[in-house]
Amino acid sequence: MAALLLSGLVQAQDWNWPADPAQEAKARELNAAYTDYMKSEQFIEATKPLNWLLVNVPELNESIYINGVTVYKGAADKTTDPAQKLVYQDSVMAIYNKRGEIYKNEPKWIENKAYYGYQFFKSDKTRIPAAIADFEKAIETNGNINHQLVGAYFDLIYRNNAYNKAYTGEQVLAKYEMANDLLNKSEAEGKDVTSSRSLLEQVLVNMELIDCDFIENTMGPKLAADPTNEELANQIFKYSVQYKCFSSNSFMAALEFIDSKNPTFATSQVRAMKYMAAGEFDKAEPVLAKALTMAENDKQKAEVQMEMAKIHTQAGRKSEARAAAREAASLDSELTAAAYSLIGDLYMSSFNQCKGGESRAKDQSIYIAAYNAYQKAGDSKGMGSARSRFPSKEELFTEGLQPGTSISTGCWVGETVTLATRD
């Protein structure tokens, strides 16, 4: 970037030499002198003849401004006197300003001026606002800046806030979002903005501005007052995810807004799970049903079916819960254990609902069905609990039954199982 900005030795074609012969001769002499000094990198020596040209023949040629930046920047780098260094740096800024007055071509160089303002004055709290203004002028004028400069711009925002308390938290976030949008534009043009984005995000983290309290207590009330503010809702959602602030009311409000306006599988799934965690299963069910329509693969469908199984269980819809759990297991084998453990629990909780009181063996066969479900799940604890409720040998004998014979559980379970005993 520095090499790009310092490239120069540009000579425009239209020269406005003084009408007075003596002045013309002097202008030609000093123009040649400063140019020779510049080519040999004698920048401090070049400032004297160049200064005469800038003062006495300011409209001589645009090249004195283009090359003037190179000269005064070079002089600032070479001098060891802090006061003189500042004079040369100020001269760079003045040259840009004068060039703008005469040639009216600010879009060509305003970004370069902003870069030098950052380089020169980023540690001077009195100069930082002007440097920021140049960056924002470049953005306003050209619609974007080089993505490598976005981090420098936001670093100035950080410094202005640290030194001068210049912004509210919301204003900082607005500038961050604007800077991030600039990177998005550059990325859309095929540029690799990875390092620039990383720097931008690191500066935001260093500001220690955003935490869960800020999101909840500063941003949340604004969304409550303006619940249709999509930009604010998106910010709250983004920062809540970034800083893991999932338990706040503002996150839920933002999530509900986003999922209602522009739903995705992820937003609907998370929204439903938040409702479930709060025990609001009636709210969760339609949102999960919506998520199922947006699922992009079997794994996502399985996740939704597993959550639907839990909702049906809570509502006492045991048959529907089993169907959803089986569907989840069939779509994603990784959910087999959870699905069949849930089915085993459904069977275990159905004894009082299903017992007929005529055959103890038939009534207890429901526990054998539960055992089989737990076995599919690899749930040894569930298997042990179910087995302890199997009929005894004596109970089978009393009913004229033998282990190994088949029996139907009846009721909603509706499975045929092989009789076994607990002893």
Contact between 93 and 115 under an 8 Å Cβ cutoff? The reply is no
Q: What is the pLDDT of residue 13?
A: 54
CA distances from 123 to 114, 128, 184, 199, 293 (A): 15, 8, 28, 18, 55
In a domain, 234, yes or no: yes
Same domain as 241, residue 193 = no
Same domain as 223, residue 185 = no
Work out how many domains the chain is built from and give that number.
4
Phi, psi at 418, each rounded to 5°:
-95, 125
Last residue of a domain, one of 138, 173, 207: 207
Contacts of 55 (CB under 8 A, 6+ apart): none
CB-based burial of residue 143 (10 Å sphere; 0-12 exposed, 13-18 middle, 19+ buried)?
A: exposed
Same domain as 234, residue 188 = no
Same domain as 420, residue 375 = yes
The first and second tokens of residue 293, run together, are 């329509």
Last residue of a domain, one of 349, 372, 404: 349
Q: Which residues, listed in sequence order, are joined to residue 416 by a DSSP beta bridge?
A: 408
> 21: domain CATH number?
1.25.40
Same domain as 158, residue 73 = yes
Same domain as 227, residue 284 = no
Contact between 121 and 132 under an 8 Å Cβ cutoff? The reply is no
Same domain as 146, residue 116 = yes
Q: What is the pLDDT of residue 9?
A: 40
Last residue of a domain, one of 289, 322, 349: 349
Same domain as 40, residue 140 = yes
> 282: domain CATH number?
1.25.40.10
Same domain as 282, residue 220 = no
The first and second tokens of residue 194, run together, are 């990875």
Contact between 199 and 147 under an 8 Å Cβ cutoff? The reply is no
Residue 407 DSSP class: E
Phi, psi at 57, each rounded to 5°:
-130, 60
Same domain as 110, residue 59 = yes
In a domain, 354, yes or no: no
Same domain as 198, residue 229 = no
> Range of 322's domain?
263-349
Query: What does the pLDDT look like over 205-232, one tens digit per residue?
Result: 888 888 899 899 988 998 999 999 998 8
Same domain as 100, residue 39 = yes
pTM greater than the 0.75 cutoff: no
Cβ neighbours, 10 Å, residue 123: 9
In a domain, 144, yes or no: yes
Query: What does the pLDDT look like over 178-212, one tens digit per residue?
Result: 999 999 999 999 999 999 999 998 898 888 888 89
In a domain, 333, yes or no: yes
In a domain, 355, yes or no: no
> Which stretches of the chain score pLDDT less than 70?
1-13
Q: What is the pLDDT of residue 10?
A: 44
The first and second tokens of residue 139, run together, are 């953005």
In a domain, 116, yes or no: yes
